[in-house]
Amino acid sequence: MNWEEKVRKVVPYVPGEQPTGSGIVKLNTNENPYPPAPGVADALRSMANDYDEMRRYPDPDAASLTQALADHYGVKEDQVFVGVGSDDVLAMSFLTFFDSDKPLLFPDITYSFYEVWAKLFRIPHKKMPLRCDFTIDPEAYLEPNGGVIIANPNAPTSIYLDLDSIEKIVAGNPDSVVIIDEAYIDFGGKSALPLINKYENLLVVQTFSKSRSLAGARIGMAFGSAKIISYLKDVKFSFNSYTMSQDAIRIGAAVASLSDESYFSDVTNRIVKTREEAVERFKALGFSVLPSATNFLFVSHSDRNASDIYNALKEKNIYVRYFNSPRIDNHLRITIGTPEEMEKLYNALQEVLK
């Protein structure tokens, strides 16, 4: 009996490398180069004084976090959903909303997990080609479909789609759920969050991993109408009621981060400033750079192959992201690090490009 015939086989998502050791400049997974808000450390330290709570199951509704998010973003508590990072939120969303014979639509160059989930959950899907300049054509998403998901700003291209175009897509698909994945929205552009009170079919997904320096805490959230959030919770509770750990909820790393808006603004502004300086430095080195509204740049060099540059930098303990994929196999995605990390990168590139 061949049991393997009954195994669901998928090509998995491949995350960026996580190198260990000293002297490494890690610019390959879009992590924030700065620590979380100081209040996060205080919250985590307080956990040591009440560790007995770890024997109890966490609050399935993550009420303290959802309330803090509702207050911070000016929405109602029943318009908020939280999960273990935005990947968990998105996976639950795929299970919940994309149950149609018509295809789910998403760009051909985007977060590669979308295709993985579509295949894993056996969701029919169609990849919509980006324009030659890697921008999204809103008109392409007005054809019959079983749902739409768009990362905005897009990854790995770093390009932001204006809010009017996003609204055109949402308004043009009243019979489908439209998900706007805003993992990088805090680094540029306007969020679609204000539209959730206007369009019942819109779900806006965000994360604490990037702008709030909490990738290790795995905290993601979604905002939408009370109805769309209720459907999402029904599936989540049917899958796993306890997806947020006690420390993430009770100790309140996320709540502490939300309460320090001054620190948040300072960090995001520093990253944006370094990003704009990096654009000019890369251009001076002969790179073409796509306009970025994220904490990374998407670059290509006219004279040198991207894979060669990637491997040469890796030999120098500098890690960037290379995608061996159609249309982007001569591009590199480079996370914005601290000014000191970026200087090491520029110096290494000067040697590599000689």
**Overall average pLDDT of the 277-296 stretch:** 98
pLDDT of residue 51: 67
Amino acid (1-letter code) at residue 105: L
pLDDT of residue 20: 85
**Overall average pLDDT of the 47-72 stretch:** 82
Question: Would you tell me which CATH number, out of the four given (3.90.1150.10, 3.40.640.10, 3.50.40.10, 3.40.50.10800), belongs to the domain 3-36+261-352?
Answer: 3.90.1150.10
- Grade residue 50 by pLDDT with cuts at 50, 70 and 90: low
pTM, to two decimals: 0.95
Rg, the chain, Cα only: 21
DSSP code per residue over 237-267 = HHH-S--S-HIIIII-HHHHHHH-HHHHHHH
pLDDT of residue 327: 96
**Overall average pLDDT of the 312-321 stretch:** 97
pLDDT of residue 128: 98
Amino acid (1-letter code) at residue 123: I
- Grade residue 252 by pLDDT with cuts at 50, 70 and 90: confident
**Overall average pLDDT of the 126-130 stretch:** 98
Six-digit token pair at 288?
Answer: 């073409």
CATH 3.40.640.10 fits 51-259, yes or no: yes
**Over 90: is that where the pLDDT of 45 sits?**
no
Sheet arrangement for strand 332-335: 287-289, 296-301, 332-335, 321-322
pLDDT of residue 195: 98
**Overall average pLDDT of the 194-209 stretch:** 97
**Over 90: is that where the pLDDT of 75 sits?**
yes
**Over 80: is that where the pLDDT of 316 sits?**
yes
Q: Would strands 147-151 and 321-322 be described as parallel, antiparallel, or unpaired?
A: unpaired
- Grade residue 243 by pLDDT with cuts at 50, 70 and 90: confident
Cα-Cα-Cα-Cα dihedral sign, residues 22, 28, 29, 33 = positive
Q: Which is higher by pLDDT, 253 or 82?
A: 82
d(CA 121, CA 138): 26
Number of Cα atoms under 13 Å in the Cβ half of residue 278: 32
* Domain segments of the chain as ranges: 3-36+261-352, 51-259
pLDDT of residue 58: 83
d(CA 308, CA 74): 48
**Residue 60, preceding bond cis, omega within 30 degrees?**
no
Contact assessment for residue 92 and residue 76, using Cβ atoms and an 8 Å cutoff: no
CA dist 34 to 211, 255, 280, 295, 341, Å?
9, 18, 22, 12, 12
Number of Cα atoms under 13 Å in the Cβ half of residue 148: 28
Which tens digits make up the pLDDT trace of 168-184? 999 999 999 999 999 99
Listed residue (353, 4, 66) closest to 219, CA to CA: 66
Listed residue (218, 267, 295, 208) closest to 35, CA to CA: 267
**Over 90: is that where the pLDDT of 12 sits?**
no
Contact assessment for residue 299 and residue 331, using Cβ atoms and an 8 Å cutoff: yes
- Grade residue 335 by pLDDT with cuts at 50, 70 and 90: very high
- Grade residue 13 by pLDDT with cuts at 50, 70 and 90: confident
Q: Which is higher by pLDDT, 142 or 256?
A: 142
Least confident of 40-49, 227-236, 237-246: 40-49
Listed residue (178, 141, 134) closest to 156, CA to CA: 134
How many other CB atoms sit within 10 Å of the CB of residue 216? 11
